[in-house]
Amino acid sequence: MVELYVSEILSRASGDRVFIMILHEKDGMRKLPVLIGAFEAQSITFAKRNIHFERPITHDLFKNFAEAYGVTLKCATIYKISEGTFYSHLIFRDEEREMKIDARTSDAVAIAMRFGAPIYIEDELLNTLCIKEEWENAFSIPITLAGTETLREVMERAVKDENYELAMKLKQELDLRTKSNDKHENTPEGINN
């Protein structure tokens, strides 16, 4: 397992309600970008800057509740990504047992920061998803973070250059996005998957 820390929170565009949390390898150079919502970005920023309020916000309340019942957080782990969504666990312990609870990665990070608990990811998963500096300040990013139009353009270029392995990976990602969009379009309003 590789330990990560939050190095920064970036806004994708002015007025956008989606942010990018950059998780940085503790003892290395790899970085993992994770898309998160505005509330979670704000909560993580408060924890990073050690800002406290007179009344607890949601992640502080969660920590207070756990501690009131003698529960501590051992660690947060990012264990997979599927269709562009990261999956995490919070590993808690009390005097008698250890418990694993499923959590959104943004919430897992916000809670781990409040407990002062480490955030981990499998080395192989980090290697697959990380931003890597390639050459002369050019970076490669995971295809799950690239826009659909960018993926189509790069796929066309890969086919033209006869790089069929890359073209197939890009097509698979585009197919996943199309299937996901179709599923959401056919879902009645008010029902969450």
Hey, what domains does the chain have and what are their CATH numbers?
Answer: 2-129 (3.10.690.10), 146-185 (no CATH)
42-47 LR contacts (CB < 8 Å, sep 24+): 43/110, 44/6, 44/9, 44/106, 44/109, 44/110, 44/113, 45/9, 47/110, 47/113, 47/114
- What are the helix (H) ranges across 5-163? 38-48, 58-68, 105-115, 123-129, 148-160
- Residue recorded with tokens 């997979």: 80
- Tens-digit pLDDT string for the chain (193 aa): 999 999 989 876 556 678 889 999 998 888 898 889 999 999 999 999 999 889 999 999 999 999 999 999 999 999 998 878 899 999 999 999 999 999 999 999 999 999 999 999 999 888 888 776 554 444 556 666 666 777 787 788 878 888 888 788 888 888 877 776 565 444 444 333 3
* Bridge partners, 91 (sequence order): 75, 100
- Cβ-based neighbours of 101, under 8 Å, separated by 6 or more: 89, 90, 92
3-class DSSP state of 95: coil
Identify the CA nearest to 44 among candidates 88, 106, 92, 98: 106
- Cβ atoms of residues 19 and 12 within 8 Å: yes
Identify the CA nearest to 78 among candidates 125, 19, 115: 125
Residue 81 Cα distances to 133, 142, 178, angstroms: 22, 11, 17
Q: What pLDDT, on a 0 to 100 scale, did the predictor assign at position 153?
A: 79
Q: How many CB atoms lie within 10 A of CB 4?
A: 25
